[in-house]
Amino acid sequence: MHRRLFICAAASALTAATTQSVGSAKATRPLRILILGGTQFIGIHFTERALERGHVVTLFNRGRTHAELFPQLEKLQGDRDGQLDALKGRYWDAVIDDSGYVPRHVRLSAELLAPKVRQYLYVSSVSAYGSFAAPNSEDSPLGTLSDPSIEKVDANTYGALKALSERAAEAALPGRVTVLRPGYIVGPNDVTDRFTYWPARAARGGEMLAPGVPGDAIQFIDVRDLSHFAINALERNVMGTFNLVAPPGQFTMGKLVAASVESANSLVHPSPPPAPTWVPAEFLQQQDPTLDVDIPIWTPAHGDSAGFAQTSAARALKAGLLITPIDKTVRDTLVWHLARPEAERLQLKSGLSATREQEILAAWHTAGKQPG
C-alpha cells in the first residue's frame, strides 16, 4: 500500500459548496439502493447523488457518525462485524459498500446480500496495487499479505486488505460486482485535509512552499465525479473494475498551486498575497527523507513511487468518467473550508505546520546564498 493514501475519511455536515458538478436529471427507472455507510465523506456524496437522481436509498451503519443527516431516509442499524440482522429479509436492486476495509466484513455482507441484490459496488483504492514503481492499470498485480487473516488496518496493510476485500465481494457475487479504485478522493467535506491543505495554505497568504517543480504530475478524483460514476454504473448495470483518477498528466502541482492562489486571492484577499516558492525534491529529501509524507497530494516520481501519478484512467473514461476542472474543485473546497468551525480551520490534519514550512524555506534560501 502507498502509505500516503492511508487515511480514512471523516465528514462534517453538507454545505452549499457540495453542489454536484454534473446535472441532476432524474433517472429513467428509480432503483432501490442500500448504502453500507452513507454518513461520512464519500458516503454523503453517494447518498446525495442517488437522491438527486430519484432513487430510493436505505442506509445501514452503526448510527454513531452524523446520525442527524438524511432524516427522511430509512436507516438500518447494525455493525459490519457480524451484526447484520437488520439486512435480513430485505431486497434491493444494488448495494454500495463504501465502508468495507476488512475482507471478512465484506464477505459477511456480500454473502448475506448475494441472493437479494442485482449488483454490488465496492469502493476499493488504487492502494490495492502491489507496486507503484511503474504505472498501473486495472490488470496490474495487487498487493498481498503474508498472513491473510490479519485485520489490523494500518499503513502497511490497508492496500492489501482492500485487494482481498475485492476478492471477497467477487467470490460472493461472481459477475455482479463493480469495483472502484479511486486515488486521493478530494473536495468539499474531506476533513482529512490532504487536498484542503493547498487552498487553505494559500488563503493564509505570504511565502508558501511548493514542492518539486510545477510540472510534477499528480492524480486525484473529485468526490462528486466519484459519486456520479458510481450511481451511473448502478443505473447502467456496469460491472468490472475501474481506476478512478484524473488521466495521467492532466493535473500537475503547478496547476494545483496556481488554482489555490487564485481562489485565495478572489475569496479571502490575504495580505500579503500567497507567493509560492518552488523547492526541489532533492533538497526536500535532504532535509528529511520522509518529508513527502507531510506534503500531501504530491509524490516524488522516482524509485518505488515512479509510477504513482501515472495510473491509467482509460477504462473509466471510456465508461463515462467525468473530470471536474481543477479550478472548480479547489474553489469549492476552499468555500467549504472557510465555513468550517474555527478549530478545524486552524488545526489541519495534513500538511506542513507553519513553523516547519518556514524552517524549510529558510534553509532553502540559505542554501541559495552559499557559494556553489
Residues 156 and 204 in one domain: no
- CATH number for the domain spanning 145: value is 3.40.50.720
CA distances from 85 to 79, 89, 108, 110, 360 (A): 9, 9, 11, 14, 54
Tell which residue, 173, 250, 254, 187, has the closest CA to residue 219.
Answer: 250
Query: What is the arithmetic mean of pLDDT over 190-212?
Result: 97
**Residue 258 covered by a domain:** yes
Q: Is residue 316 in a domain?
A: no
If asked whether residues 230 and 210 sit together in one domain, one would say: no
Residues 141 and 154 in one domain: yes
59 shares its domain with 204: no
pLDDT at 167 over 60: yes
342, 286: one domain: yes
Distance CA 274, CA 293 (A): 23
Task: Flag whether 233 is in a domain.
Answer: yes
Q: What angle do CA 60, 61, 65 make, to 5 degrees?
A: 135
Are residues 159 and 86 located together in one domain of the fold?
Answer: yes
- Are both 116 and 182 inside the same structural domain? yes
Provide the pLDDT for residue 8: 35
Contact predicate 122/35, CB 8 Å: no
- At 324-356, the pLDDT tens digits run 999 999 999 999 999 999 999 999 999 999 999
| Per-residue model confidence (pLDDT) at position 341 | 95
Overall domain count for the chain: 2
Residue 84: C-alpha distances to residues 60, 112, 145, 252, 270 (Å):
9, 8, 27, 44, 51
Q: What is the pLDDT of residues 111-153, one digit of tens each?
A: 999 999 999 999 999 999 999 999 999 999 999 999 989 999 9
Query: How far is the C-alpha of 343 from the C-alpha of 338, rounded, in Å?
Result: 11
Quickly state the pLDDT bin for 172 (edges 50, 70, 90). Answer: very high
Q: What is the pLDDT of residues 275-297, one digit of tens each?
A: 999 999 999 999 988 887 889 99
According to the model, what pLDDT value does residue 191 have? 83
94, pLDDT greater than 90: yes
- 8 Å CB contact between 178 and 119: yes
Alpha-carbon span 95 to 88, nearest angstrom: 14
Residue 157 lies in a domain: yes
Rg of the chain, C-alpha, whole Å: 21
Instruction: Give the range of the structural domain holding residue 273, as residue numbers without chain letter.
Output: 197-218+250-310+326-367
What is the number of helices (H) and of strands (E) in the chain?
A: 11, 13
- Condensed to tens digits (0 to 9), the pLDDT of residues 26-77 reads 988 999 999 999 989 999 999 999 999 999 999 999 988 889 999 999 999 9
pLDDT at position 371:
54
Extract the C-alpha cell encoding 174. 461472481
> What distance in Å separates the CA atoms of residue 64 and residue 180, rounded to the nearest whole number?
26
Shared-domain flag, residues 128 and 164: yes
Same domain, 173 and 257: no
In a domain, 335, yes or no: yes
Residues 85-96 have a mean pLDDT of 96
For 357-368, give the DSSP string: HHHHHHHHHHHH
